[in-house]
Amino acid sequence: MDKNNLLLEIDLCYKELTRTEKKIADFVMKEAERVLFMSITELADNCGVAEASVHRFCRALKIKGYQEFKMRLSLSLNKDSQPASNGESTKKGKGLIGGILQNHINAIRETNELLDEKEVIKTVNMMSEAKNIVFVGVGNSMITAAEAYGRFLHITPKVYYVKDNHMQSMRAATASKDDMFIFFSYSGDTTDNINIAKLAKSYGAKVTVISRYPKSPLTKEADSILICGSKESPLEGGSMGAKMSQLHIIDVLFQYYYQHNLEESRRNNKETAKANLDKFS
């Protein structure tokens, strides 16, 4: 049997599934392409089951977790259904360049449409009140967290970027109500992020999540949620479109924070700029 054909595997073991697992299987087989772009929470809601049931469904298929499940599902579907941004487009030359440009423009435009200004202002208010702001990301999102840290360091000294997951856990374990954690997670389903968010919340810290999915295990821990655009299939992990959508949100937060803390931001911006003048010839 072709191990890349998950839909066939589901069909063959269907009779062995529980009633709840069959509900999930029915939905997946009917709406496979939609499922590719769903968080585990959204799939559970659409099937009328608990997230734990989705995990059990994955284990029944001998799959370790939900992200692996989506990867296997993606491999089962026709390649033609994958977005052009995964590098498999048949276009060449300027046609390919134009297609890439359009994907990136669409990602930023969709993000802008999804941004709720009330959530932006709420997030910026929490950032302004916090004594320490910690940017957190795992895997590809780690790079975006580093970008956010570098951007905000120009205007405030209270930002931190913790790369190592063990160090992230220790930072969360010493958090207080004066701290704020900003998580970058496209899926909202990364176990390390979820555990760190729960730990930080237990010590009173504020949590903001920047993600594609408004409903996910990570967003359940959030005090504010900012949704990014750009659909990303499991085979595209870390696509440029997804990164650009998150970078757009970073810049929106930066500009709002700058205006909200104008005098301090201007002063720090000048000082950080002067600090690096001797680095250039």
Spell out the domains of the chain, with CATH numbers in brackets.
6-77 (1.10.10.10), 104-279 (3.40.50.10490)
Residues sharing a CB contact under 8 Å with residue 71, sequence separation 6 or more, in sequence order: 234, 235
Q: How many CB atoms lie within 10 A of CB 159?
A: 21
Q: What is the pTM of this model?
A: 0.77
Q: What's the pLDDT at 83?
A: 46
pLDDT at 222: 97
Min mean pLDDT across 82-91, 114-123, 160-169, 234-243 is at 82-91
Eight-class DSSP state of 81: G
CB 74 within 8 A of CB 240: no
* 258: enclosing H helix or E strand: helix 240-260
Residue 250 has pLDDT above 90, yes or no: yes
Q: For 114-162, write each residue's pLDDT tens digit.
A: 899 999 999 999 999 999 999 999 988 999 999 999 999 999 999 999 9
The token pair at 92 is 């060449």
